Amino acid sequence: MENKKIVSICIIGLMLVSTGISASAIRLDNRSLIKNVVSRPLSNEVINITVNETWDMLTNAGDGIQFYIDVRRNDEWMTERIDTPLPEHPRHYNLHLLQDPELLDKFMSLYGSVDTLIIGCKSGGRSWKAANIILNAGFNGTIHNMIGGLLGWKAAGRPTILQGGIYNITVDEVWDLCTDTANGIQMPIDVRYDYEWYAGYIDTPFPECPVWYNKTILETTDGMETFLRTYEGNEVIFYCKGGYRSLLSAYRVWGEDFNGTIYNMLGGITDWQAQGHPIRNNTAPDAPAIDGPNKGSAGTNITFEFSTSDAEDDGVSYMIDWGDDQTEETGLYPITDTASIYHLWEEKGTYTITVKAIDFYGFESDNTTTEIKIPRNRASYSNIVEWLFEKYPNALPIFRYIFGL
């Protein structure tokens, strides 16, 4: 018998070797296994294009919107970059961010659904590497590598912007950017004082709705570090009342080696209103609805669905108290989506679930409650009964009938 086991193990080992699957590949999770065994031939799917072809694409929105992603270092980006018009202007997403799995996921959330990416760097090497990283992360559109990079661009006589770390853009351009996620996701950052913010702010839809980040917060070390960490890799648009405080804030962030793309809205909210664009205040979302069972089993995941409405259609998260000393807050959901969340209760009892919705701006709804009953776990109870009958095999047959054994 022992010899047969040894022979079987040898045969299995030979089969694995013959199929080219290493032991290390077997230890990978499903996602990694798929990437390593059946991944696409990357060298055949990143398309090299010339600087002149890039110029033609990025100066003609009639052929669709192409996103140029500059993956050079911060100091290179801040010194000089290619010059093409909005919305096909270059964005900055440093290569080392793409090499961080968490920040690669962030990139995919920002640009993963666009049709066409063009990746560029100084001469074409880093951009080729970045393009393959993005492709291997699951990008389904067309991805180009601009051969020659910025050096080739300049040699071909194409325009650049010197000291171009910040884009000054009009309120109309901000409106176009922040009401259409097809041109990427831009985050408006309101740097006005609190009384100005609460009096009203620009009205753009989630997820491109404005965030209040008072200018004085950016003047503190902790505030700046939090901002850089939170918005790393993002496209951020600073605005204020007239454009001066936002420009100061933009340059302050620019000077702190920000990884991302920075805009300043000229004219501020004053010009925004003058051009007929909307502003609004915020209201709390409605008390959420809870959809789920009123009875379940101990030790089993039980799913509930939470939904709400919001007058401004802001994104919402849900704060849930499960009634067993456990609470959790979900991530943000678009107001049109339902949050499906499961929970497991360990002990029998009747539990009161309490939930409230919290909108993008932190406004909280009223609470909604529901009850769920968790009876004794039948499986555990049956195990005890079975143990009793194993210990006392001569128990009366009627007991076996009663307990269903």
Domains 42-162 and 166-280 share a fold: yes
Q: What's the CATH class of domain 42-162?
A: alpha beta
Q: Which of 122-126, 129-133, 261-265, 394-398 has the weakest average pLDDT?
A: 394-398
Give the CATH fold of the 166-280 domain: Oxidized Rhodanese; domain 1 (3.40.250)
DSSP H stretches of helix in 19-169: 23-26, 30-38, 51-58, 74-79, 95-98, 101-111, 125-136, 149-155
Q: Which of 176, 184, 31, 172 is nearest to 108 (CA)?
A: 184
Catalytic residue among 121, 178, 209, 240: 121
Instruction: Find out whether 163 and 79 touch, Cβ atoms under 8 Å.
Output: yes
pLDDT digit string (tens) for 186-208? 999 999 998 999 889 999 998 99
Question: Which whole number is the average pLDDT over 227-246?
Answer: 96
Q: Which of 3-7, 69-73, 349-353 has the weakest average pLDDT?
A: 3-7
State the chain's mean pLDDT as an integer. Answer: 85
Residues 11-37: b if buried by 16+ CB within 10 A, e if exposed? eeeeeeeeeeeeeeeeeeeeeeeeeee
pLDDT digit string (tens) for 309-347? 998 888 899 999 999 999 999 999 999 999 999 999 999
Q: Using a pLDDT cut of 90, give the percent of the chain over it.
A: 71
At 79, the pLDDT band (50, 70, 90 cuts) reads very high
10 part of the active site:
no
Instruction: Find out whether 218 and 253 touch, Cβ atoms under 8 Å.
Output: yes
Longest dimension (CA), the chain: 98
At 393, the pLDDT band (50, 70, 90 cuts) reads low
Bridge partners, 373 (sequence order): 295, 350
Domain map of the chain by residue range? 2-38, 42-162, 166-280, 289-374
How many of the other CB atoms lie within 10 Å of CB of 353?
19
Query: What does residue 119 show for φ and ψ, rounded to 5 degrees?
Result: -105, 135
Q: Does the domain formed by 289-374 have CATH 3.30.70.1400?
A: no
Q: Which of 11-25, 200-214, 381-395 has the weakest average pLDDT?
A: 11-25
Q: How far apart are CA 17 and CA 14, in angstroms?
A: 5
